[in-house]
Structure 1
Amino acid sequence: MSKSPSFNRRAFLGSAAALGTAGLAAPALAQFAEALPEPMPAAAPVSNGPQHNISSFRMQDWRPYFQNLSNGAILCDLTSRALHYWSEDQQTYRLYPSSIPVSEDLTRTGRTEIIRKVEGPSWAPTPAMKARNPDWPDFVPPGPDNPLGTHALWLSWQYYRIHGTHDTRKIGRRSSNGCIGLYNEHIAELYNLTKIGTQVLII
């Protein structure tokens, strides 16, 4: 992709990235722990945001969140910054660290589903993104400059995705424009596990 002199790839990837236990390897969990912000000193005032510690990143049961597992189910927990997947036959469970939206106005919660699956996705900024960042390109093809990483799952909500990222520093942080981001190796696995119609709940 040709870049103008003002186009900063690293800043762009960081800003544009939009949105078991057997499925989470120890190295990935360690990466997630390292990605979390440093804890504040004891004397510092408590922030209004969620408290981040690895103890909240734990296995969940699907029953409090879904009536059934028809087509499989995904739970995106914004507080613990974790994505949970259950297969329809209840034989497969996965737990992945994720990135979440940078602000409340970009955050959407509720029930949706996967309507499209793309390997090697291209990307284009939404009209709102382009208005805020006029120097961003109108289109980014698949590749290392693409903020959607190697795979993307389209949700029924316009502009919302579960996708990978080439900038692994963003996982475990508020870093997306509304989407849920995963490590590329995790989105590749989730891509193969899910189907069109897989249930998605974001809480």
Structure 2
Amino acid sequence: MRKPLILLASAAMLAKLVSPALAYDRYAERPPVVVSPDLSAPWVLQLGRNPGEVMPRQQRRQQRAQVQVRPAAPREAPRAAQRQKVRPDGVQTAALRAPEKRSVKPQINPIYLPQTVAYDGAEKAGTIIIDTTENFLYLVGTDGQARRYGVGTGKPGFEWSGTHKVTSKREWPEWRPPAEMIARERAKGRVLPAMMTGGPENPLGARALYLGSTLYRIHGTNQPWTIGGAVSSGCIRMRNEDVMDLYERVAVGTTVIVR
């Protein structure tokens, strides 16, 4: 009987030692959660007020009116406009310099494009006539017509005339400048190669018709914008597409008359 009494006494003593606040804390009511009645008001406006305090509507309106709205930053100017800007002193910096324009090679006059024209000369069909004054090459046809091409001819001091035969034809010919030309260009400060293989950069272009035993040729060019002028060292130059067309129309042995 003594043991139950001891246990009851111990339980009573423990109950007195425990604080009522700690014993019932988990069941105590929590402080109310305060939510701003005006949810659109900036949260900064709620700082510094006591929980549960409701700001009057008129005061809320006044505080919202005092909030400064920062203006949006101006949009960056387009890069094209930035490149066109100039410093106040008038100097255009490299960073702002406008892009350079690409150089465009000039086109030839349309009159020098291939076309069929009337021809009343006495030469028989298949003959090539070269007019070095007007810079035209005529391939005589039938029925009083001829196919006319624009050409580049000898510059002043390199003009010539005569009659020859086409002795050979070559596609994408190699170029071997004569010794006189090499010496002449060296005096101008330009060094010519002893030989250049055929290709788009070769001055003889895509095709060549060799005239007799001379050094002259009817050939293409890598400078088509020179057609129609007196520009060569005596050769007759044509656009590559034109000399390719002529190449297919004539044969070795064709008569060439240069006037």
> Smaller-chain TM-score range?
0.5 to 0.7
1:59 CA drift (Å): 3.9
Tell me the residue number matched to 2:181.
129
Question: Of the candidates 225, 228, 232, which is equivalent to residue 169 of structure 1?
Answer: 225
* TM-score w.r.t. length of structure 1: 0.66
Once residues 222 and 120 of structure 2 are traced to their aligned partners in structure 1, the CA distance between those partners, rounded to angstroms, is 30
Tell me the residue number matched to 2:137.
83
Does residue 141 of the first structure (1) align with residue 193 of the second (2)?
A: no
Q: Which has the higher contact order (CA 8 A, sep 6+)?
A: 1
Does residue 61 of the first structure (1) align with residue 120 of the second (2)?
A: yes
Once residues 240 and 146 of structure 2 are traced to their aligned partners in structure 1, the CA distance between those partners, rounded to angstroms, is 18
Once residues 170 and 112 of structure 1 are traced to their aligned partners in structure 2, the CA distance between those partners, rounded to angstroms, is 25
Post-superposition Cα deviations, 1:140-199, rounded to whole Å, max 9, x if no partner, equal 111122111100000004110001112111100111110111111110010000001101
Once residues 247 and 196 of structure 2 are traced to their aligned partners in structure 1, the CA distance between those partners, rounded to angstroms, is 21
Does residue 156 of the first structure (1) align with residue 212 of the second (2)?
A: yes
Structure 1: segments with no counterpart, 5+ residues: 1-26, 34-57
Post-superposition Cα deviations, 1:110-145, rounded to whole Å, max 9, x if no partner, equal 111100000111101111101112311111111122
* TM-score w.r.t. length of structure 2: 0.52
Post-superposition Cα deviations, 1:46-89, rounded to whole Å, max 9, x if no partner, equal xxxxxxxxxxxx643231xx3x34xx2000001110000024xx
Does residue 114 of the first structure (1) align with residue 155 of the second (2)?
A: no
What is the letter of the counterpart of residue 110 of structure 2? A
Q: Which portions of structure 1, spanning 4 or more consecutive aligned residues, are displaced by more than 6 angstroms?
A: none
CA contact (8 A) 1:151 1:188 kept: yes
Once residues 160 and 249 of structure 2 are traced to their aligned partners in structure 1, the CA distance between those partners, rounded to angstroms, is 24
Once residues 211 and 112 of structure 2 are traced to their aligned partners in structure 1, the CA distance between those partners, rounded to angstroms, is 25
Structure 2: segments with no counterpart, 5+ residues: 1-106
SS in 1 for 2:129: strand
- Structure showing greater radius of gyration is 2
Aligned pair count?
146
What is the letter of the counterpart of residue 161 of structure 1? R
Coordinate RMSD, CA, aligned: 2.3
